[in-house]
Amino acid sequence: MNKTSENLINKFISGQRLSDEEFILFNDFLNDLHYRDELIRFLEKNWQQSQPEEVALQFEQIREKIRVSSLKVKMNRLFIALSKAAAILFIPLIAAVLYFYFNQPISSEMLTLSTEKGEFTHVILPDGSRVWLNVDTKLSYPADYGLGSRKLELEGEAYFEVKKDEELPFEVTSGNLTTTALGTRFVISAYPESSVIKSSLLEGSVEIKYGNTYKIIEPGQQLTLDKNKQALVLKAFSEEYELSWKNNQLVFRLTPFDHVISILEKWYDISIVYNPELFKSETLTVRFEKYESLENVLKVISKVNGFNYKVEGNNVKITK
């Protein structure tokens, strides 16, 4: 390995700006089979002679500089991998990551985050975007998410706080509906058993695609797709209501009884047996605060809607 190559690596590790010509040389060097073993030995030698603070990598700064390079996608893969090693500042780990980079193709594997009935979770995606998943929800995205695209698939309900990136729009597909944003806050509800898919915007701007139809909605607006009628409806919505689950509250507002049953089954991971015909014209308006017990919820609802119930383990039987 010549002096030019060593200088390029040291410059890269220190977070200094590389010129376009240097980027091309650096990329060629990384992909040259002849130099790989030499590169690992060089990194190990530098680690043995360095103090931890001397090998700290300024990844965010470097990443921003990379954006304008034609090598963006390939180098971004390298930075994501290197940042994991940099968290504990060991050059041998960086060498190992480089080996992984050299030998692994870009993966088309889909990763899935999910919650079971009765579970909620909050996750941070690789690009820094935050997602809160409601009960019984699945969110899938490719293993190379954040490199060439930010596309996700949602089944269930989730609240998104999207990290702004004008070059990579944030796309969430729920059934036949695709919501696209740059940097914004919105909620999508798309449970398979539900007759509707809802996309509600709290902040920013999103574009929603359904077939050949495109709709841009503004904060405070909700676009609903009626899956049976294949019709789109735009209306105002209550942020407090749509985000009640995120705040660990159970809120019903003129909610049809069958929908109430579906929500209770998901929240408490139970099975409810009842005769839908006896309740098809009934609705419920009530609020339950955080972590209300199933027993208390059933007591209140039974008085409001006039029914009897019996709980046996995870099974509930409702009769009139």
For the chain, the first-to-last Cα distance in angstroms comes to 83
**Do both 38 and 156 map to the same domain?**
no
In the predicted structure, residue 97 carries a pLDDT above the cut 90: no
Band of pLDDT at residue 20, cut at 50, 70 and 90? low
**Do both 117 and 235 map to the same domain?**
yes
**Do both 191 and 265 map to the same domain?**
no
Domain boundary among 103, 133, 161: 103
**Do both 180 and 223 map to the same domain?**
yes
Tokens of 237: 């919505």
**Do both 32 and 129 map to the same domain?**
no
Over residues 190-239, the pLDDT tens digits come to 999 999 999 999 999 999 999 999 999 999 999 999 999 999 999 999 99
Domain with residue 293: its CATH number is 3.55.50.30
- Per-residue b or e along 162-192, where b marks 16 or more CB atoms closer than 10 Å to that residue's CB: bbebeebbbbbbbbebbbbbbbbbbbbbbbe
Q: In the prediction, which pLDDT does 242 show?
A: 93
Positions of E strands within 107-169: 110-114, 121-124, 130-133, 138-142, 150-161
Q: In the prediction, which pLDDT does 281 show?
A: 92
In the predicted structure, residue 102 carries a pLDDT above the cut 60: no
**Do both 46 and 135 map to the same domain?**
no
Dihedral sign for Cα 303, 304, 307, 311, please: negative
**Domain tally, the chain:** 3
- The CA dihedral of 94, 98, 101, 102, to the nearest 10 degrees, is -170
**Do both 267 and 224 map to the same domain?**
no
In the predicted structure, residue 18 carries a pLDDT above the cut 90: no
Q: Which domain holds residue 193?
A: 110-242
**Do both 15 and 94 map to the same domain?**
yes
Q: Which of 205, 280, 284 is nearest to 252 (CA)?
A: 284
Per-residue pLDDT, averaged over 45-49, amounts to 55
Per-residue pLDDT, averaged over 116-121, amounts to 91
Least confident range of 3-17, 63-77, 134-148, 292-306: 63-77
In this structure, are residues 247 and 292 in contact, taking their beta carbons and an 8 Å threshold?
no
DSSP 16: P
Band of pLDDT at residue 82, cut at 50, 70 and 90? very low
**Do both 289 and 236 map to the same domain?**
no
Q: Mean pLDDT of all residues in the chain?
A: 79
Band of pLDDT at residue 126, cut at 50, 70 and 90? confident
Q: In the prediction, which pLDDT does 134 show?
A: 95
Tokens of 3: 């002096």
Task: Give the type of residue at 17.
Answer: R
Task: Tell me the pTM.
Answer: 0.64
